[in-house]
Amino acid sequence: MATWNSRGLRGSTLEEFINRTNETYLTNGLALIQKVPTPITPINIDKATRHITLAYFEQKSTVDYIGAVQGIPVCFDAKECATDTFPLQNIHEHQVTFMENFEKQGGISFFLISFTARNEFYYLRLAKLLEFWNRAKEGGRKSFRYEELESDYFLPKGKAVLVPYLDTLQKDLLARD
C-alpha cells in the first residue's frame, strides 16, 4: 500500500503552478477550479513540529482538479515526466474510468503534463490518452513518447499565468464539434 511519504512530493511544483494559475483564472472571472484533496490517515506525527511524517491514503483518488470554465464542467489530473517517455502506469484505471464517465455527463477531462527536462507543459486530451491506453491494453507500448503527441496541444509559455491551459481547452472544445 502506498504511503504519503513514500511518494514524496512528486508533482508538487507543477501543482503549485496550477494552483496559482487557477487563482488568477478565478480572480479574472474565467474559471472556478479547485484542488481535490486526497483523504489520508496519519500514522506518525512529529510531536515537535506537528507535521505528518507517515500516512496512508484512505481511498483511491480520482483527479487532482475539478470545477467549471465558463459553465463547462472540467476535471483534470497533473503529472510530471522527467524524460521524453511517459509510462502509462502513472495513470490508474480508476482515473480513466472516472474521466470517461465525467465526459459522458457533458464534462471535459484531460491531463496536464509537465515535461520537466524540456520545461514544457502539455494538455493531453482524454481521447488521445485513450488511444495510448487502448494500444497498451492490446499488447502494445505501455508508454507514449513525446514525438507521438499532438503539437497543437503544447501550452504556450505563460506570461500572465504559469500554466495557461484555457486557450488549449478551447482548442479541445472546438475539435469536438
Q: For 53-109, what is each residue's pLDDT tens digit? A: 765 555 566 899 999 999 999 999 999 999 999 999 999 999 999 999 999 999 999
Structural domain contains residue 144: yes
CA distances from 46 to 49, 55, 94, 127 (A): 6, 12, 33, 44
Structural domain contains residue 44: no
Alpha helices (H) along the chain = 12-27, 93-104, 126-137, 166-176
- Ligand-binding annotation for 64, yes or no, is yes
- Ligand-binding annotation for 95, yes or no, is yes
In the predicted model, is pLDDT for residue 170 greater than 60? Answer: yes
d(CA 155, CA 175): 16
Structural domain contains residue 6: no
d(CA 139, CA 67): 35
Count the domains in the chain. 1
- Ligand-binding annotation for 77, yes or no, is yes
Share of the chain above pLDDT 90, in %: 69
pTM (global) more than 0.85: no
Structural domain contains residue 81: yes
- Ligand-binding annotation for 152, yes or no, is no
Structural domain contains residue 95: yes
Structure-block grid coordinates of residue 83: 524524460
Structural domain contains residue 69: yes
For 137, the domain range is 21-37+64-176
CATH number of the structural domain spanning residue 106: 3.40.1350.10
